[in-house]
């Protein structure tokens, strides 16, 4: 009997689309597990510099379509693709043209580059409010049923008789 190794415990990251960014002296390949991108859709991102990540460090800045910075964070290893930097099960919360800005430090110095106009389409399916409303119907029905059952089965308290 053979036991499965720990590497087979997780699905591999399936990259279906790539983009390239030049961050100073560093060439960076950005991989996406879904394409085209849609708002509120979870996906994996990988960031693969030429020559690997061992002697490099960097940051990723996510710039929303309105120009505001959503998040700035250090580039870290992808949980399921340990030889690359990446983000696991991440979603972009609005449609429009996003920008990913990279700052990389390594043996060739400091480099900054951007992936501009990363188009994110509108969220698939119905609007989020409608989805929540429809999904809460069974809970509301359960509360109504339990309230009805509780009122039907509770014992009435005897009225106090005057002495």
Alpha-carbon span 101 to 115, nearest angstrom: 6
Higher pLDDT, 111 or 127: 111
Q: For position 152, what pLDDT does the model report?
A: 87
The pLDDT, as a whole number, for residue 10 is 61
Domains of the chain, start order = 11-121 (2.60.40.1930)
Per-residue pLDDT tens over the stretch 62-88: 999 999 999 999 999 999 999 999 999
In this prediction, residue 129 carries a pLDDT of 84
The residue ranges of DSSP E strands in the chain, in sequence order, are 17-23, 26-32, 37-38, 43-49, 57-63, 69-74, 85-90, 96-106, 109-121
Query: What pTM does this model have?
Result: 0.73
- Per residue in 19-54, pLDDT tens? 999 999 999 999 999 999 999 899 999 999 999 999
């Amino acid at each position: 009997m053979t036991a499965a190794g720990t590497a087979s415990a997780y699905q591999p990251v399936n990259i279906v689309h790539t983009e390239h960014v030049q961050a100073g002296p560093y060439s960076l390949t950005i991989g996406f597990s879904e394409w085209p991108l849609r708002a509120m859709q979870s996906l994996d991102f990988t960031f693969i510099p030429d020559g690997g990540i061992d002697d490099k460090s960097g940051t990723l800045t996510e710039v929303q379509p309105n120009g505001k910075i959503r998040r700035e964070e250090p580039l870290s290893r992808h949980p399921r693709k340990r030889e690359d930097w990446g983000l696991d099960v991440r979603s972009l919360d609005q449609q429009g043209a996003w920008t990913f800005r990279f700052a990389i430090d390594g043996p060739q110095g400091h480099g900054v580059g951007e992936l501009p106009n990363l188009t994110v389409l509108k969220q698939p399916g119905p609007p989020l409010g409608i989805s929540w409303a429809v999904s809460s119907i069974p809970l509301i029905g359960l509360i109504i049923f339990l309230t009805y059952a509780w009122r039907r089965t509770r014992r009435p308290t005897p009225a106090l008789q005057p002495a």
